[in-house]
Amino acid sequence: MKYLAIAILVVLPHMATADGVQIEGNVQAKCVIRTDRTGVYGNPTANKLSASPADGGVTPIIRYDVALAGYYTARITYPTSFSTSPTLTDTVTWTGGASVSSVSTAQMSAYDAAKVEYDSTTEFDLTVAGTTWFKVDSVAEYGYDKAFPAGTYRAVIQADCIAK
């Protein structure tokens, strides 16, 4: 038995082993979207809902914080349907748009001139690091001079930060 025990001890260090080594990492968000101000629809005429202050509404403000310049695109889509509303029997015509409301660096003021608009979406190339506030206009007109039914109306703006 003594000899056997010695033999095992000698052989063990020469046995092949394997293990999996893990690598973990965490990527901090470099583009953060916040709602700075929620919008409110005004009802200037019976068939119209508008977020414009001129129409008694409140324009929503979306804030983009970008830590890295030139890596992200802000994509903002104004609503084309109500998420909450009474039953509507006629079509609703949607218009709107997004524009720069406020900037943290003067160079961001060029975003408006360089923005790309298609359908209900507006894209801004975030070429400067910092904070940009975008305002979104939204107008809904019901039928042909048809009054909106009474009730609560809600619509959602889609704001994305897309890596290039």
Beta strand pairing status for 121-126 and 72-77? Answer: antiparallel
Helical ranges in the chain per DSSP H:
2-11, 111-114
Contact status: 61 vs another protein (CB under 8 A): no
Binding positions for another protein, 124-143, rule CB under 8 A: 131, 133
Contact status: 76 vs another protein (CB under 8 A): no
Buried b (16+ CB within 10 A) or exposed e, 19-31: eeeeeeeeeeeeb
Tokens for 150, please give them: 């009474």
| Minimum gap (Å) between residue 110 Cβ and another protein | 6
Number of residues that bind another protein (CB under 8 A): 15
The backbone torsions φ and ψ at residue 149, rounded to the nearest 5 degrees and listed phi first, read: -65, 150
Among 43, 45, 80, 104, binds another protein (CB under 8 A): 104
Contact status: 45 vs another protein (CB under 8 A): no
Residue 96: CB atoms within 10 A of its CB come to 21
| Minimum gap (Å) between residue 135 Cβ and another protein | 10
Residue closer to another protein by CB (options 112, 125) is 112
Residues that bind another protein (CB under 8 A): 100-110, 112-113, 131, 133
